[in-house]
Amino acid sequence: MRVVIFCHSLVSDWNHGNAHFLRGVCSELVARGHSLVVCEPRDAWSRVNLLAEHGDAALAAFAGAYPELRSRLYDEATLDLEEALDGADLVLVHEWSSHALVRRIGLHRRTHRDYRLLFHDTHHRSVTDAAGMARYDLSDYDGVLAFGNVIRDLYRDRGWARQAWTWHEAADVRRFHPIEGLAREGDLVWIGNWGDDEREAELGEFLLEPVRQLGLKARIHGVRYPAHALERLQRAGIEYGGWLPNHEAPRVFGHHAVTVHVPRRPYARALPGIPTIRMFEALACGIPLVSAPWDDAEGLFHPGRDYLVAQDGRAMKRHLRALLADPEARRELSANGRRTVLGRHTCSHRVDELLGILAELQPAARASPSIA
């Protein structure tokens, strides 16, 4: 099967969490023998910021970590869709693509019926920017892959798409797994971006204050931390490590005893059932995790067994203190979480689900052996 993907960026994960899941899915497709073309805009802001801050060395590091993956850069004004989509069996278009490009690809599909066309939504804009999402013309798309039931149902209920399926993110367990024998360098690590006003209060309550009050040796990695955020980290005694290439996260997790999950407010309040991809990745790496409140409405995990839940800052402090004092409790929690990820939430599972969706769309008489 020939798969063509249009995304914001494959090579840059600078403030771009969708790249994590995309890389895992692409690696799985390649490992199964499928042909893959990934197209990303030359001026994508994630790529532009990565190059501005870290230069070509960051792109070289990606190529070294993912030798099987590469992308084609395009300029939207000169993009030749006939060439890009030639021979495609499946085309995935991510929702960070421009309205104009989404429409152009739909119009191409209108006159080229020999491939399946799916829109991929991995953001909260269906709730926080409904007007902007409604402007996407998906009339010629076969449907939408939404990373949660709530978002899937919005597409169906609002008539934005012909069909919609839930397609959760997952861990790339080829790269996200425990690394044995690493010396402990700290108590707690958190990998995530500041998130502007979407979780500043939550980060204070569930991360900064518990670390400060317990006197933990802690480290934070991420980007877009304004000056006042860096000052708050300093007051809490937290080391700021800046941007971390995502493929290095397993090793960083391995040097620390625990981590936390602090969802952004739109997900915690309006979009239940959708964790950040960092949660899948952390559990896959076997690091014990304590989460701020979120509603696992879709039963992805086993709260209290795969990870602990802190309803407020006091509970977070209590859980962290108990875990750090009890190595056996940490081992049990990490083993449970990793078992659940391996059983249900790997990129291999998601590719299986994708092929199942294609089988639904492909009439039996026309199904090709590669996607049957």
| Tens-digit pLDDT profile for residues 55-67 | 999 999 999 999 9
15 plus 146 within the same structural domain: yes
Q: Which domain holds residue 291?
A: 186-344
Paired tokens of 223: 């980007």
Total residues found in the chain within this entry: 372
Q: What is the pLDDT of residue 363?
A: 61
Paired tokens of 202: 């939550």
Lowest mean pLDDT among 130-139, 261-270, 286-295, 320-329: 261-270
Is pLDDT at 140 greater than 50 in this prediction? yes
Domain assignment present for 371: no
Lowest mean pLDDT among 23-37, 45-59, 125-139, 170-184: 125-139
Which of 195 and 199 is assigned the larger pLDDT?
Answer: 199
Domain assignment present for 178: no
334 plus 351 within the same structural domain: no
165 plus 215 within the same structural domain: no
The mean of the pLDDT values for the chain is: 94
Domain assignment present for 372: no
264 plus 136 within the same structural domain: no
Q: What is the pLDDT of residue 195?
A: 72
222 plus 162 within the same structural domain: no
Contact in structure between 198 and 264 (CB atoms under 8 Å):
yes
35 plus 158 within the same structural domain: yes
Determine the straight-line distance between the first and last CA of the chain, rounded to whole angstroms: 11
Is pLDDT at 368 greater than 90 in this prediction? no
The confidence band for 78, taking pLDDT boundaries of 50, 70 and 90, is very high
Is pLDDT at 356 greater than 90 in this prediction? yes
If 0-12 CB within 10 Å is exposed, 13-18 middle and 19+ buried, where does residue 4 land? buried
In what helix (H) or strand (E) does residue 354 lie, and over which residues does it extend?
A: helix 347-361
The CATH number of residue 300's host domain is 3.40.50.2000
67 plus 208 within the same structural domain: no
Place of tokens 């690590």: 189
12 plus 151 within the same structural domain: yes
Is pLDDT at 314 greater than 80 in this prediction? yes
Domain assignment present for 263: yes
Phi and psi dihedrals of 299, rounded to 5? 65, 40
Buried b (16+ CB within 10 A) or exposed e, 38-52: bbbbeebebbebbbe
Written as one string, the DSSP assignment of 98-137 is -HHHHHHHHHHHHH-TTSEEEEEE-SSHHHHTHHHHHTS-
Domain assignment present for 33: yes
Q: What is the arithmetic mean of pLDDT over 230-238?
A: 98
307 plus 319 within the same structural domain: yes
Domain assignment present for 126: yes
Lowest mean pLDDT among 6-15, 196-205, 246-255: 196-205
Q: How many domains does the chain have?
A: 2
Domain assignment present for 160: yes
Domain assignment present for 142: yes
Is pLDDT at 366 greater than 90 in this prediction? no
Q: How far apart are CA 362 and CA 358, in angstroms?
A: 6
Q: What is the pLDDT of residue 269?
A: 72
Strands 2-6 and 35-41: parallel
223 plus 331 within the same structural domain: yes
Give pTM, 2 decimals. Answer: 0.94
Using CA atoms in the order 172, 264, 59, 284, what is the torsion angle rounded to 10 degrees?
A: -20
36 plus 166 within the same structural domain: yes
Q: How far apart are CA 264 and CA 194, in angstroms?
A: 10
Radius of gyration of the chain measured on its C-alpha atoms: 21
Q: What is the pLDDT of residue 54?
A: 98
24 plus 126 within the same structural domain: yes
Q: How far apart are CA 220 and CA 207, in angstroms?
A: 10
